[in-house]
Amino acid sequence: MSKVRTQDLLDRFELELVTGEDGVHREIHTSDISRPGVEMTGYFKFYPKERLQLLGKTELSYFNELSTEERKDRTEKLCTDVTPGIVITRGMDIPPELIESAREAGVPLMRSPYKTTRVISRLTNYLETKFAPFTAIHGVLVDIYGIGVLITGQSGVGKSETALELVKRGHRLVADDSVEIRQEDFDTLIGNSPPLIEHLLEIRGLGIINVMTLFGAGAVRNYKRISIVMNLELWDPKKQYDRLGLDEEKMKIMDVEIPKATIPVRPGRNLAVIIEVAAMNFRLKRMGVNAAEEFSQRLTNVIDRDKHMEE
């Protein structure tokens, strides 16, 4: 899981740092954002002080109606030694009591010109991404017709060579050798390349090539949702491979189950074309067209018709 500091929010979003420069390196440990409305009334029993605090028009309107003593009390309790920051939305004027308390406690006090709902949405999406469960898998991730295909298999089976052929056919490389995967939401896996090997492809006998330099910016992308796994394995004549496609295999990555297909590798098989067609077939299945089920239904109809003719 990545470390997120208040300084990261200042760098990424259009936030004005009003005071609290000493606290910009405080860490944010949760994606939850607090709107301290109840706290403005003086109830701090369950105040989530470790969260990023956000004050909108409603909170500040109530705050401005308090007495001077109440304002000072509320702001001193809002600004703790672990509070990562306070964000004021809509570019509103900040009460001097809050500025003073934030300065004394070293809490970064920031202001955004945008509406409260927009600020919450953008900050939450960013923090959810940063704090998402994370793992890494040995494989290659390619974007084929909008489908994120994770190609796995033993070292030397031909994953990178297949990815190179797919790139030549107009598809886009996301990651080679190591795929960093984070789980967003309960059913979504997003894969990307480690920064060190981004846009690079290793071909045995040739070495490392830069796909973006050779094929252009349209041949790569930084991240992609993983939709299907293609596992390459050396052809085993004793093994029974699926010939119809009725039985759908699954692969579990963290908490998400992804459709998986096993592709046997032997001389003469064009793996790039097979994987490309598999991605197109997966798209058709998502649109409700399943060739294997249609064949099975046709076969059932023929058998039933023959039985009726015999009777």
Mean pLDDT for the chain overall: 91
pTM: 0.73
pLDDT 10s digits, 215-237 = 999 999 999 999 999 999 988 87
Q: What is the mean pLDDT of residues 119-135?
A: 91
One domain, residues 97 and 142: no
For tokens 């796909």, name the residue.
Answer: 211
Structure tokens that stand for 18 in this block? 């009003």
One domain, residues 111 and 164: no
Residue 185's domain comprises 134-295
pLDDT 10s digits, 52-78 = 999 999 999 999 999 999 999 999 999
Q: Which pLDDT value is given to residue 244?
A: 64
Residue at which a domain ends, from 72, 105, 130: 130
Which CATH number goes with the domain that contains 48? 3.40.1390.20
Report the alpha-carbon distance of residue 75 to residue 134 in Å, rounded: 37
Q: Is residue 148 part of a domain?
A: yes
Residues 90, 93, 96, CA angle at the centre, nearest 5°? 140
Beta-bridge mates of residue 4:
28
Q: What percent of the chain has pLDDT over 70?
A: 97
One domain, residues 102 and 17: yes
Q: Is residue 211 part of a domain?
A: yes
For residue 36, how far is the Cα from the chain centroid? 29
Task: Mark the binding-site residues for Mg(2+), compressed into ranges.
Answer: 160, 202
One domain, residues 59 and 14: yes
Q: Is residue 203 part of a domain?
A: yes
Q: Is residue 227 part of a domain?
A: yes
Q: What is the mean pLDDT of residues 166-194?
A: 93
Tell me if 123 sits within 8 A of 9, measured CB to CB: yes
Report the alpha-carbon distance of residue 281 to residue 246 in Å, rounded: 13
One domain, residues 174 and 291: yes
Q: Is residue 311 part of a domain?
A: no
One domain, residues 144 and 103: no
Q: Is residue 149 part of a domain?
A: yes
Q: Is residue 310 part of a domain?
A: no
Question: Any idea which residues carry the catalytic annotation?
Answer: 138, 159, 177, 243
One domain, residues 106 and 149: no
- Is the predicted pLDDT of residue 120 greater than 70, yes or no? yes
pLDDT-derived band of residue 267, with 50, 70 and 90 as boundaries?
confident
Q: Is residue 213 part of a domain?
A: yes
Number of folded domains in the chain?
2
Which CATH number goes with the domain that contains 257? 3.40.50.300
One domain, residues 96 and 65: yes
Q: Which helix (H) or strand (E) holds 55?
A: strand 52-55
Q: Which pLDDT value is given to residue 243?
A: 67
One domain, residues 168 and 269: yes
One domain, residues 270 and 176: yes
Q: What is the mean pLDDT of residues 147-163?
A: 93
The CA R_g of the chain, rounded to the nearest whole Å, is: 28
One domain, residues 141 and 285: yes
Q: Which of 176, 155, 156 is nearest to 164 (CA)?
A: 176
